[in-house]
A and B are shown apart, each in its own frame.
Chain A
Amino acid sequence: DGGITQSPKYLFRKEGQNVTLSCEQNLNHDAMYWYRQDPGQGLRLIYYSQIVNDFQKGDIAEGYSVSREKKESFPLTVTSAQKNPTAFYLCASSVETGGYGSPLHFGNGTRLTVT
């Protein structure tokens, strides 16, 4: 079955450490996205990529970095510069680059806890 795989499901890190969240899709989608979800705040866009080797900052990119070396993969690194990294992170993809009518397909998320 096609879909988006995020790993790991739960991740625990000490403050000051960088951590990388994995996102892989086999839907052959061009566009991929990273969102952060906090209780009562909806989803906020961190980074998005419309094509391989290109990505753009979203609304809350500070303290995060991404890469898009392959169409299928869009890993997110949460750096030590991110002040409040504990959150639920969601990766998504869509079939059309700039396709406004195309819904996003989401992975099942990674819950990151930093202590």
Chain B
Amino acid sequence: AQSVAQPEDQVNVAEGNPLTVKCTYSVSGNPYLFWYVQYPNRGLQFLLKYITGDNLVKGSYGFEAEFNKSQTSFHLKKPSALVSDSALYFCAVRDSNAGGTSYGKLTFGQGTILTVHP
């Protein structure tokens, strides 16, 4: 079974400081990894994904994520946080070995609330 863990329910950073939101995963095959952001009472917005290739993936709004196969992690990072980055962040994974189905189930983590203080 595939799973995602976001070990921190909340992350607090000061504006201008770097931020990291942590994610670890478990899959039987190769992972396809995604980060989404959610603002209050809105749907999720796609930020970035890792499928294959470079371990450092760049996405929207200056976010990037680093894929680490040995640590089974896919942490979200930003060099300089903005107050407007404050939101709920979700990590998600799909297993390349989806068995006999043609649908690759997307499993979400519990979410991490990011608060950026002025």
Contacts and interface: CB of A to CB of B under 8 A. Distances in A.
Interface stretch (B14-22, B66-74, B77-85, B101-109): B101-109
A40 B110 contact: yes
Interface of B: 9, 32, 34, 36, 41-46, 49, 51, 90, 94, 96, 98, 101-106, 108-111
Contact of B43 (A42, A50, A90, A101): A90
A103 B42 contact: no
Given A100-B94, A101-B32, A101-B51, A107 B43 contact: yes
14 contacts: A4-B43, A6-B43, A42-B90, A43-B108, A48-B103, A50-B103, A56-B103, A97-B102, A98-B102, A100-B32, A101-B49, A106-B44, A106-B45, A111-B41
Contacts of B102: 50, 97-98
A90 B44 contact: yes
A22 interface: no
Chain A contact patch, size range? 20 to 34
A17 interface: no
A3 to B, nearest CB: 10
Interface string A16-44: 00000000000000010000000011110
A42 B49 contact: no
Nearest to A101: B51
A4 B39 CA distance: 16
Contacts of A109: 41-43
A100 B104 contact: yes
Nearest to B39: A108
A92 B45 CA distance: 11
A45 interface: yes
A103 B49 contact: yes
A42 B6 CA distance: 10
B40 to A, nearest CB: 11
Nearest to B106: A104
B102 to A, nearest CB: 4
A107 B94 CA distance: 21
Which of A92, A106, A107, A111 has the most CB atoms of chain B within a 10 A radius of its CB?
A: A106
A35 B36 CA distance: 14
